[in-house]
Amino acid sequence: PVYEMIIGIYGDNEVGGLVCSEELGKQIMKEFVDNWQERNPNLELIGAYYHADERGKPHVHLDYIPIAHGYQKGMKTQTGLVKALGEQDFEKKGKLTAQMQWEKRENEYLEKLCREKD
């Protein structure tokens, strides 16, 4: 299975309490993509596509495959989002799924990149 995340920093709009130009937003999104594998060793990035086709709304599509290890049946390495995120220390906590916690961390990282450019 392939999963997708879309990130965007919209030109001259407020992002995390900051105003960000389209060019600066593009630089920040590039840095987010460049550091993906370091943050997400179990989510193999197979594509990152920048789009500026919607006026004022440049964004990046990130396609990734979750890779997990230690399966007892079949191949030892398989695709599996929950197990892959578990290997990255994201476990279900009450109503918060591993994916919800991971998405929150990714959003906070994007906001951090924006704040560093302020």
Residuewise pLDDT in 10s, the chain (118 residues): 899 999 998 655 555 555 667 788 889 999 999 999 999 999 999 999 998 877 768 899 999 999 999 999 999 999 999 999 999 999 999 999 999 999 999 999 999 998 887 6
Question: How high is the pLDDT of residue 16?
Answer: 54
Amino acid 19: pLDDT: 62
The pLDDT of residue 7 is 95
With residue 31 as reference, give the H or E element that holds it. Answer: helix 22-34
| pLDDT for position 80 | 94
pLDDT at residue 28 in the model: 92
Quote the distance between the C-alpha of residue 73 and its chain's center: 29
Q: What is the largest CA-CA distance in the chain?
A: 51
Distance CA 91, CA 49 (A): 29
